[in-house]
């Protein structure tokens, strides 16, 4: 196995957490974001679909979802930016004994609401949500969602039946959104006891015409919220781009001028609410249209989209960026980063105006997350 390199991060540095099909990497730069120091590979050979950075309550903790086709899935953490990682004797994220499910893969790690600094969430396949209220020391199944009457009818998408997105509402500590492929968007308004589907207006292209707008069952690929206006949400569907201005109660098509409304990744700029997506050509091909690698941005909530592509390959670039392959930092101007299935990692330190390659020979990238070290 390769000997990992390590980074040392200081306050103000930017972290670029990169999960691949063959391990995790921790990249570090100062706030100029010109040069990146690379730590890793960590967990060589393991697929790392989820990474997170928890800097609440004085922590500097990295989280990784370590997935092995042999040995199962578990969470590991590092309090020294990757130099050492926990290897738990027993797995924490698991269904109760006697349940009709076992964890196939951990897809997402998310921090809880701001006033709950010890709360973490995990989304898994088969679709279920787990919660920790002790900063990840122990986990329990969110039974309100597990016992939902729709659960038995959710169907797996191409990647499996996964709960891949967890979105706490910044303005309401009892409200949380999750997205499931293929189940759709669900929202709780009471801290997880009860869940309602929130998919009005979202198309299910794979159903017969008269059934294309079901209450639930859509293949939602990603949802993101506007930090300045948490009731405003954006959604990349399996065919379809949408915005909600009412906390998910209804959705409006905003695929105005994009080369394809199919795609996976979606991010909202924490500084100005711009939305970024990377359209892909069709659900059969799933590559960037016209052989051009373009990141589309809207600054008017989806009324219009423009391609950002300066510095990105524009010939023979048949790339795929997956649902967690795009991430933004909170510096000014915003940094935006994405990784491809072909192992390339690109970044922009000016909110997409110009791009450059950061790394080009990684294993397939499935997760990119950023953080600014406090």
226: its two tokens: 């506007």
Tell me if 2 contacts another protein by CB under 8 A: no
Closer by beta carbon to another protein, 98 or else 208: 98
Residues 102-131 that bind another protein (CB under 8 A): 102-103
Closer by beta carbon to another protein, 68 or else 374: 68
The CB-of-100 to another protein minimum distance in angstroms stands at 9
The CB-of-140 to another protein minimum distance in angstroms stands at 13
Tell me if 94 contacts another protein by CB under 8 A: yes
Closer by beta carbon to another protein, 71 or else 213: 71
Tell me if 87 contacts another protein by CB under 8 A: yes
Tell me if 374 contacts another protein by CB under 8 A: no
The CB-of-269 to another protein minimum distance in angstroms stands at 36
Among 91, 306, 342, 373, binds another protein (CB under 8 A): 91
Cis peptide preceding 41, ω within 30 of 0: yes
Site stretch for another protein (CB under 8 A), options 65-73, 152-160, 168-176, 276-284: 65-73
Residues 316-335 that bind another protein (CB under 8 A): none
The CB-of-96 to another protein minimum distance in angstroms stands at 8
Tell me if 137 contacts another protein by CB under 8 A: no
Site stretch for another protein (CB under 8 A), options 67-75, 76-84, 288-296, 354-362: 67-75
Q: How far apart, in Å, do the first and last CA atoms of the chain sit? A: 33
Site stretch for another protein (CB under 8 A), options 83-91, 121-129, 309-317, 337-345: 83-91
CB atoms within 10 A of CB 49: 28
SS3 assignment for the chain:
CCCCECCCCCCCCEEEEEEECCEEEEEEECCCCCCCEEEEEECCCCEEEEEEEECHHHCCEEEEEEEECCCEEEEEEECCCCCCCCCCCCCCCCCCCCCCCCCCEEEEEEECCCCCCCCEEEEEECCEEEEECCCCCCCEECHHHHCCCCHHHCCCECCECEEEEEEECCCCCCCEEEEEECEEEEEECCCCCCCEECCCCCCCCCCCHHHCCCCCCECEEEEEEECCEEEEEEEEECCCEEEECCCCCCCEECCCCCCCCEEEEEEECCCCCCEEEEEEECCCCCECHHHCCCEEEECCCCCCCEEECCCCCCCCCCCCCCCECEEECCCCCCCEEEECCCCCEEEECCCCCCCEEEECCCCCEEEEEEEECC
Tell me if 84 contacts another protein by CB under 8 A: no
Site stretch for another protein (CB under 8 A), options 32-40, 63-71, 182-190, 192-200: 63-71
Closer by beta carbon to another protein, 66 or else 280: 66
Among 8, 69, 138, 282, binds another protein (CB under 8 A): 69
Among 3, 34, 35, 97, binds another protein (CB under 8 A): 97
CB-based contact 49:103 (threshold 8 Å): no
Among 35, 89, 115, 284, binds another protein (CB under 8 A): 89
Tell me if 85 contacts another protein by CB under 8 A: no
Tell me if 206 contacts another protein by CB under 8 A: no
Among 99, 137, 193, 303, binds another protein (CB under 8 A): 99
Taking the C-alpha atoms of residue 110 and residue 232, their distance in angstroms, rounded to an integer, is 19
Q: Which residues bind another protein (CB under 8 A)?
A: 45, 69-72, 74, 87, 89-91, 94-99, 102-103
């Amino acid at each position: 196995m390769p000997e990992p390199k390590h980074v040392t991060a200081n306050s103000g540095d930017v972290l670029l957490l990169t999960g691949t099909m063959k391990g995790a990497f921790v990249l570090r730069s100062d706030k100029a974001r010109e040069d990146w120091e690379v730590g890793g590979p960590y967990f060589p050979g393991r697929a790392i679909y989820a990474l997170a950075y928890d800097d609440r309550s004085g922590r500097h903790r990295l989280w990784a979802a370590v997935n092995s086709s042999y040995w199962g899935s578990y969470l590991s953490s590092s309090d020294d930016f990757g130099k050492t990682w926990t290897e738990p004797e027993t797995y924490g994220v698991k269904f109760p004994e006697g349940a009709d499910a076992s964890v196939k893969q951990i897809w997402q790690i998310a921090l809880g609401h701001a006033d709950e600094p010890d709360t973490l969430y995990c989304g898994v396949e088969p679709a279920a949500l787990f919660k920790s209220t002790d900063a990840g020391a122990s986990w329990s199944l969110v039974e309100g969602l597990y016992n939902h009457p729709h659960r038995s009818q959710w169907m797996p998408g191409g990647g499996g039946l996964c709960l891949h997105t967890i979105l706490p509402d910044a303005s309401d500590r009892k409200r949380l959104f999750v997205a499931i492929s293929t189940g759709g968007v669900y929202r709780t308004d009471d801290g997880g006891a009860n869940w309602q589907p929130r998919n009005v207006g979202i198309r299910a292209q794979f159903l017969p015409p008269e059934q294309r707008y079901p209450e639930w069952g859509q293949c939602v690929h990603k949802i993101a919220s506007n930090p300045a206006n948490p009731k405003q949400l954006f959604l990349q569907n399996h065919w379809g781009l949408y915005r909600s201005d009412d906390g998910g109660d209804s959705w409006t098509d905003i695929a105005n001028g994009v080369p394809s409304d199919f795609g996976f990744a979606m991010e909202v700029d924490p500084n100005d609410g711009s939305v970024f997506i990377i359209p892909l050509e069709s659900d059969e091909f799933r590559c960037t249209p016209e052989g051009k690698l373009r990141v589309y941005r809207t600054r008017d909530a989806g009324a219009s989209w423009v391609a950002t592509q300066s510095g990105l390959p524009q010939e023979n670039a048949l790339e795929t960026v997956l649902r967690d392959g795009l991430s933004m930092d909170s510096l000014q101007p915003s940094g935006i980063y994405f990784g491809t299935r072909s192992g390339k990692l690109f970044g922009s330190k000016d909110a997409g105006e110009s791009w450059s390659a950061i790394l080009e020979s990684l294993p397939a990238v499935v997760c990119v997350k950023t953080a600014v070290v406090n």
